[in-house]
Amino acid sequence: MERTPNSSLIPQLCLLLSVLSGVLLGVVTFRYLHHEEAATQSHIAQALDQIRDHYVEDIDEDTLAQGAIDGMLGQLDNYSVLLDASQFAQLRQESEGAFSGVGIEIERRDDTFEIIALISDSPAFHAGIKTGDRLQAVDDMPTANLDMNQLISLVKGEPGTAVKLTLLRENFPQALNIRVVRSQLTVASATVRRLEAGVVHARLTKFQQRTADELASALTRLNNDSPVRGLILDLRNNPGGLLSSAIAVADLFLQRGVIVTTRKRRGKSAQQHFRATLGDILPGRPIAVLINGGSASAAEVVAAALRDHRRATLVGARSFGKGSVQTLMPTLGLRQTIKLTTAEYFSPQGLAINNVGVDPDVLIKEASAAANTDLWLDAAIAALKHMDLGVEQRLSGTD
């Protein structure tokens, strides 16, 4: 049948209308989003103009800008903050394992500042401060209305100077006032020692730039002296550190697969997978990982990766639950740096870590940590022996 001119134009008109509709929708969407952004900027500009024109005293506009940034970050989470030059330098020193202070790691929980980790052999450790203590005041200044940066500035200081910490401790009827003398701390992030029957205990205090190298060198040296039959990777009270370091540590014991996934809110790189490379430094030998409520961030990445790949048994208590990534972003005009939460961690099986934590395979009550003997370490040794027995039974069953 011969088509009429009108019938041949209909598909073309439909296509044209479809294209025009798409273009129109795109224009409307762009204008809407641009309008929302412009409106937000207008609100900020109006407030600045009103302060500039009517505030009773002259005020430095850089100070206003800093206050505005602080206020915006304060609406986000406890980890997004504005760092001045000294705070940025201190953060960099800590990643390298050298800084001045008392040796405590603090997080904000339920509107209080809680000590989640202590550096071994630090002034705070010797003064009797404990994980779980809540910091009520520093040199008699209440902490209730302080942000994290203000608190850190009060606690840290020059070596040899003293600071009074007022602490609330569970099951104690009144606050404890503890005087601590600050010192220069140089922390080796990996301490490795041989225990019974070829078992090695490796304590990681923080994930710094050289942590994986320190651990690998120590394990290689011990294994060359006498074969390592099993490893206890002790991440108790490890507050985290560098994500790259955590990935490198987990990679020491994994042959393949995803170590951790980071997910952002938007953009082309909204999801990023970090994968293991070939080579296990202790092939076939069992690993037990010790975790507790002070194990956070990068420590949780390692624990979750080794658990999900069935490379290790986790022993202890549920970890802290800080599964977020902070990125340093310079604000060039103010010569300061924004530390901004930009992504969250997920385990190889896709399980969330942030505000959830990592559960152990072998649960130990926190109260057990107060015993004279390290029952947690004993439990980890028992877990290794159990894994060894399982290997022997499987091998004997194949004969």
Are residues 140 and 278 both part of a single domain? no
Q: Which residues of 70-109 are buried (b: 16+ CB within 10 A; e: fewer)?
A: eeebeeeeebbbbbeeebbebbeebbebebbbbbbbbbbe
What's the farthest any 2 CA atoms get from each other in the chain? Answer: 100
Angle separating helix axes 85-96 and 148-155, nearest 10 degrees: 70
Which residues 6+ apart lie within 8 Å of 267 measured at CB?
none
SS3 assignment, position 3: coil
Tell me, what's the pLDDT at 267? 57
Are residues 375 and 234 both part of a single domain? yes
Phi, psi of 227 (to 5 degrees): -55, 135
Are residues 132 and 204 both part of a single domain? no
Tell me, what's the pLDDT at 83? 83
The encoded tokens of residue 256 equal: 């393949």
Tell me, what's the pLDDT at 97? 60
Q: Tell me, what DSSP letter sits at residue 240?
A: -
Residue 86 lies in a domain: no
Query: Could you say which of 131, 163, 186 is where a domain stops?
Result: 186
The Cα 263–Cα 166 span in angstroms is 39
Are residues 170 and 197 both part of a single domain? no
Q: Tell me, what DSSP letter sits at residue 267?
A: S
Residue 278 lies in a domain: yes
Residues paired with residue 232 on neighbouring β-strands, in sequence order: 201, 288
Give me the residue label for tokens 């990935």.
247
Are residues 182 and 203 both part of a single domain? no
Burial (Cβ within 10 Å: 0-12, 13-18, ≥19) of residue 195: middle
Residues of the chain with pLDDT under 70: 1-38, 93-98, 266-269, 332-333, 366-373, 388-399
Supply the residues annotated as catalytic: 297, 308, 322
Are residues 195 and 280 both part of a single domain? yes
Could you tell me the residue range of the domain that residue 179 belongs to?
Answer: 98-186
Tell me, what's the pLDDT at 297? 92
Q: Among 372, 346, 341, which residue's Cα sits nearest to residue 358?
A: 346
Residue 229 sits in a domain of what CATH number?
A: 3.90.226.10
C-beta contacts of 63-72 below 8 A and 24+ residues apart: 65/333, 65/334, 66/334, 66/336, 68/44, 69/331, 69/334, 69/338, 70/147
Q: Interior CA angle at 362 toward 392 and 106, to 5°?
A: 135
Query: Could you say which of 162, 186, 210 is where a domain stops?
Result: 186
The encoded tokens of residue 202 equal: 């490796």
pTM as predicted: 0.69
Tell me, what's the pLDDT at 321? 92
Region for 184 from its dihedrals, namely left if φ exceeds 0, alpha if ψ lies in -120 to 50, beta otherwise: beta
Phi, psi of 235 (to 5 degrees): -110, 15
Residue 28 lies in a domain: no
Residue 156 sits in a domain of what CATH number?
A: 2.30.42.10
User: Over the stretch 129-169, which tens digit does the pLDDT of each residue have?
Assistant: 988 899 999 999 999 888 877 888 889 888 999 999 999 99
Q: Interior CA angle at 226 toward 221 and 229, to 5°?
A: 100
SS3 assignment, position 313: strand
Residue 271 lies in a domain: yes
Angle separating helix axes 5-54 and 61-74, nearest 10 degrees: 120
